[in-house]
């Protein structure tokens, strides 16, 4: 992992930050219902960085996007709507500022005392944000002394507030960004071997790049979920009515060949849970060998024998990276394999024998259902950025910090 500076380097670089203006990119894109945030996870994630800077006496200006205003002001997408949430999480007053640059920001800074916090307007109200326009970035930078990026979840975008600013001011990773980068590095950058990856979810097509990247880096590639059906089909298994991308079987073969060449063992289920209809506890639900799936049945979960064998694989490994559920976990009882394997992984983590890093929207929901989110070494909430990292892509927001 290339080196990046953190809040630990601030004093050495800049001396006392008291009274200096910190421009801090955070993720406050909170899910909302009826004008109130329904989940404060993102606000909680950035709180330590904000409080640390404020307690050091900096004037902290928060930069965030909120929704998709596409370069225009929308009153329904103003960051003023999340101001109460961040105030509540921080337990401090936060001044909402209706611009991101110019005299309104200057005047607000004259009012803010060292250690105070301001929340700038939605960066995406200006087209310069997503265009990463240098003049737009310079106008924001003009009011700051240094830049902190604490929004890993936005780091796959080269926008003015996620990338451009890092070139204009001394730039640092915030605490949440630092933790995320450290966890990801432990999982795939410089992991303890053997390494296992679980890749599941609905479709091969959405994760081809992930699979291609992983085969060369992990010792065990565990494929589950709907995408396993395409791999089974490529091996000549009749998967009946299962979700299956038959046109992608050559791609699946290519991935299995690449795995062979790299010495990576690909694990596909050999028993599966099948049903004739996709419903909760459907009639005709049964477990069978993959070669016994009837033409009118569909595979909805990995079977118990294969799940136990996968648990044994994890017991031989030191590192696990996980994206995608093993089955249609939202519908009972098709969460069983995901929940069982997640609990094995959590137990091995508690014993200290396995480092476990997971990410992905549905993965997060599945791990929460299994009750293991807090028992994994690290669970990323970053979504798109996490997937791009799993694909081995350089994230512009991270690269700009690592210059
Ligand atoms: P993530 O959001 O964690 O990246 P995905 O979006 O790729 O995960 O996949 C999650 C979806 O895959 C879930 O909605 C789940 O129901 C579905 N899924 C998993 N296994 C199957 C299966 N065998 N058949 C149909 N859908 C499945
Ligand atoms: Mg998903």
> What residue owns the CA closest to ligand 1's atom 22?
226
Q: Where in the chain is the domain with CATH 3.40.50.1260?
A: 7-175, 191-390
* Average predicted confidence (pLDDT) for the chain: 97
- One DSSP character per residue, 41-74 reads HHHHHHHHHHHHHHHTTPEEEEE---S--TTS--
328 lines ligand 1 (CB under 6 A): yes
CA pair distance 39, 33, nearest whole angstrom? 10
Residue 1: predicted pLDDT: 53
The pLDDT value given to residue 3: 85
How far, rounded to the nearest angstrom, does the alpha carbon of residue 14 sit from its chain's CA centroid?
31
Cα-to-centroid distance, 273 and ligand 2 (Å): 21
Residue 172: predicted pLDDT? 98
Please work out whether the CB of residue 293 comes within 6 Å of at least one atom of ligand 1. no
28-61 tens-digit pLDDT: 999 999 989 999 999 999 999 999 999 999 999 9
Pick the CATH number of 191-390 from 3.40.50.720, 3.40.50.1100, 3.40.50.1260, 3.40.718.10: 3.40.50.1260
Nearest to 122 by CA among 58, 70, 175: 70
Q: What is the pLDDT of residue 218?
A: 98
Distance CA 231, CA 37 (A): 41
pLDDT tens track for 108-158: 999 999 999 999 999 999 999 999 999 999 999 999 999 999 999 999 999
Which residue of 324, 334, 358 sits with most ligand 1 atoms within 8 Å of its CB, as the best mutation to test the pocket? 324
CB atoms within 10 A of CB 118: 19
Q: 261-295 burial by CB neighbour count: b if 16+ within 10 A, else e?
A: eeebebbbbebbbbbbeeeeeeeebebeebeebee
Residue range 178-201: average pLDDT?
A: 95
Instruction: Using CB atoms within 10 Å of the CB of residue 103, give its burial: 0 to 12 exposed, 13 to 18 middle, 19+ buried.
Output: exposed
Cβ count within 10 A of residue 131: 14
| Mean pLDDT on 172-200 | 96
- Is any ligand 1 atom within 6 A of the Cβ of residue 269? no
Q: Give the mean model confidence (pLDDT) for residues 396-401.
A: 96
- pLDDT tens string 231-257: 999 999 999 999 999 999 999 999 999
Q: What is the CA radius of gyration of the chain?
A: 23
Residues 388 and 403: their CA atoms lie apart, in Å, by: 20
d(CA 150, CA 155): 9
Q: Is 325 in the pocket of ligand 1 (CB under 6 A)?
A: yes
pTM, whole model, 2 decimals? 0.93
Ligand 1: does its nearest atom lie under 6 Å from the Cβ of 303? no
* Tokens 């979920």, located at residue: 225
Residue from 297, 325, 336 to probe ligand 1 pocket by mutation (most atoms less than 8 Å from CB): 325
Three-class DSSP category at 368: helix
* 306-363 pLDDT per residue, tens: 999 999 999 999 999 999 999 999 999 999 999 999 999 999 999 999 999 999 999 9
Q: Give percent of the chain above pLDDT 70.
A: 99
Architecture of domain 7-175: 3-Layer(aba) Sandwich (3.40)
- 260 closest CA partner among 221, 303, 307: 221
96 DSSP β-pair partners: 119
294 token code pair? 């009837």
Q: Please tell me the residue having the least CA distance from ligand 1 atom 10.
A: 201
What does the pLDDT read at residue 383?
87
* DSSP state letter for 154: G
Active-site positions read 42, 203, 361, 384
Q: How far apart are CA 170 and CA 150, in angstroms?
A: 14
* Number of neighbours of residue 148 by Cβ within 10 angstroms: 35
Show the tokens assigned to 198.
């679980």
Which residues, in sequence order, are bridge partners of residue 320?
Answer: 196, 356
The pLDDT of residue 166 is above 80: yes
Q: What's the confidence (pLDDT) of residue 219?
A: 98
CA 229 to chain centre: 25
- Provide the 10 A C-beta neighbour count for residue 91: 8
Residue 79 pLDDT > 80: yes
Provide the pLDDT for residue 2.
62
Ligand 1 atom closest to the CA of 360, numbered from 1: 3
């Amino acid at each position: 992992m290339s080196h990046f500076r953190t809040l630990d380097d601030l004093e050495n670089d800049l001396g006392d930050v008291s009274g200096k203006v910190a421009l801090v990119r955070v993720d406050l894109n909170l899910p909302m219902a009826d004008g109130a945030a329904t989940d404060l996870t993102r606000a909680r994630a950035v709180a330590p960085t904000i409080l640390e800077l404020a307690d050091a006496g900096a004037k902290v200006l928060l930069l965030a996007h909120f929704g998709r205003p596409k370069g225009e002001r929308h009153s329904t997408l103003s960051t003023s709507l999340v101001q109460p949430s961040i105030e509540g999480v921080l337990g401090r007053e936060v001044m909402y500022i209706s611009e991101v640059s110019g005299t309104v920001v200057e005047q607000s800074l004259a009012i803010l005392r060292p250690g105070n916090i301001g929340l700038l307007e939605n960066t995406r109200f200006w087209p310069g944000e997503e265009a990463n326009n240098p003049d737009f970035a310079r106008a924001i930078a003009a009011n700051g002394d240094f830049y902190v990026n604490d929004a890993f979840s936005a780091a796959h975008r080269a926008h003015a507030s996620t990338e451009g600013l890092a070139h204009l001011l001394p730039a640092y990773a915030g605490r949440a960004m630092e933790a995320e980068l450290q966890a990801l590095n432990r999982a795939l950058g410089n992991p303890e071997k053997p390494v296992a990856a679980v890749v599941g979810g609905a479709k091969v097509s959405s994760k081809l790049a992930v699979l291609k990247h992983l085969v060369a880096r992990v010792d065990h590639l565990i494929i589950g979920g709907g995408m396993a059906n395409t791999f089974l089909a490529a091996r000549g298994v009749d998967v009946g009515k299962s979700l299956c991308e038959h046109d992608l079987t050559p791609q699946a073969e290519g991935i299995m060949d690449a795995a062979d060449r790299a010495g990576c063992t690909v694990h596909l289920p050999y028993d599966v849970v099948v049903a004739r209809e996709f419903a909760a506890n459907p009639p005709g639900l049964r477990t069978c060998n993959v070669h016994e799936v009837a033409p009118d049945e569909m595979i909805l979960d990995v079977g118990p024998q294969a799940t136990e064998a996968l648990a044994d694989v994890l017991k031989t490994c030191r590192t696990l990276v996980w994206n995608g559920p093993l089955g249609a976990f939202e519908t009972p009882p098709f969460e069983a394999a995901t929940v069982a394997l997640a609990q094995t992984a959590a137990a091995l983590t508690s014993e200290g024998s396995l480092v476990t890093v997971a990410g992905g929207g549905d993965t997060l929901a599945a791990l929460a259902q299994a009750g293991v989110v807090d028992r994994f070494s690290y669970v990323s909430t970053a979504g798109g950025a996490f997937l791009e990292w799993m694909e081995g892509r350089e994230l512009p927001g991270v690269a700009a910090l690592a210059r």
